[in-house]
Amino acid sequence: MEELKVNKMPLLGDDAPSFKAVSTQGEINFPEDYKGKWVILFSHPADFTPVCTTEFMTFAKMADEFRAFNTELIGLSIDSLYSHIAWLRKIKELEWKDMKNVEVMFPLIEDIKMEVANKYGMVQPGQSTTQAVRAVFVIDPQAKIRTILYYPLSLGRNFDELLRIVIALQKADSDQCATPADWRPGDDVIIPPAGSCGVAKERMENKDDGSYCLDWFMCFKKDKIQ
């Protein structure tokens, strides 16, 4: 029996592996087709499964919220294009929570040969050799991997957290800051640590620029909602 080839998953800061694939929205040439965009590339184990169905309904409902932050969604599973189409049509017939008539407009990649899944380390033999686990890759406009999340097959993802991650990453990039635990838009952000004694002293004494320090190494500044 031929041994399954499993590639090493890319790491934070790596270039996102490039690929060409067929999807429910036509052919994808990544990252060329997504220049200047943030991307959430996520995998799910199989079509016509209940956890995945709730996730796709939620992603579809929130697609415009992600797009408002210049972020596109790409789904993937190791199923055929025809299975994808049939499943997405069925999703539109379902009603769950406050969601009904949900139409999935973002692409869902056909990956029967596991080419894309293996490039991203989505197939983990300890879980399954025939299904991609619930992986999430947040990729920035320079096609760099900025966040990686893995969930077990039984656990549905938290989509508010995925949106928060994108917003926080963009805030950190634009303002050259860091975000504290449980940060939400509008919360205070963290100023990078002082690089000299003089800067540390100045920050502790400065009260006029909207910043404040708990100690010399831990300084915040006020922020405004985007």
Domain 19-174 and domain 176-221 have a common topology: no
Angle of CA points 131, 114, 118, to nearest 5°: 90
- The predicted-structure confidence for 163-173, as pLDDT tens digits, reads as follows 999 999 999 99
Q: How far is CA 167 from CA 76, 170, 179, in A?
A: 23, 5, 10
- The predicted-structure confidence for 40-58, as pLDDT tens digits, reads as follows 999 988 899 999 999 999 9
Per-residue pLDDT, 184? 94
- The predicted-structure confidence for 53-92, as pLDDT tens digits, reads as follows 999 999 999 999 999 999 999 999 888 999 999 999 999 9
Q: In which band, very low, low, confident or very high, does the pLDDT at 2 lie, cut at 50, 70 and 90?
A: very low
Amino acid at 174: S
* Greater model confidence, 209 or 37: 37
- Report, as an integer, the average pLDDT of 118-142: 78
176-221: CATH topology = Antioxidant, Horf6; Chain A, domain 2 (3.30.1020)
Residue 129 has pLDDT above 60, yes or no: no
Q: How far is CA 11 from CA 120, 130, 137, 188, 217, in A?
A: 9, 23, 10, 29, 28
Active site residue 52: yes
Q: How many residues does the chain have?
A: 226
Alpha-carbon distance of 94 to 107, in angstroms, equals 20
Binding residue ranges: 134
Structure tokens at 195: 């690089």
Question: Around 15, how many Cα atoms within 13 Å sit in the side-chain half-sphere?
Answer: 6
Binding residue ranges for substrate: 134
**What mean pLDDT, rounded, does the chain reach?**
88
Structure tokens at 210: 């909207």
Residue 126 has pLDDT above 60, yes or no: no
Lowest-pLDDT range, 116-125, 131-140, 176-185?
A: 116-125
19-174 belongs to CATH 2.40.160.20: no
Residue 130 has pLDDT above 60, yes or no: no
Q: Enumerate the domain spans of the chain.
A: 19-174, 176-221
Alpha-carbon distance of 134 to 123, in angstroms, equals 10
Per-residue pLDDT, 219? 87
Model-wide pTM > 0.75: yes
Strands (E) located in 52-154: 71-77, 95-96, 99-100, 108-110, 134-139, 145-151
Residue 132 has pLDDT above 80, yes or no: no
Helix axis angle, 50-67 to 81-93, nearest 10°: 80
Q: Is the Cβ–Cβ distance between 101 and 88 less than 8 Å?
A: no
Amino acid at 63: A
- Report, as an integer, the average pLDDT of 19-32: 96
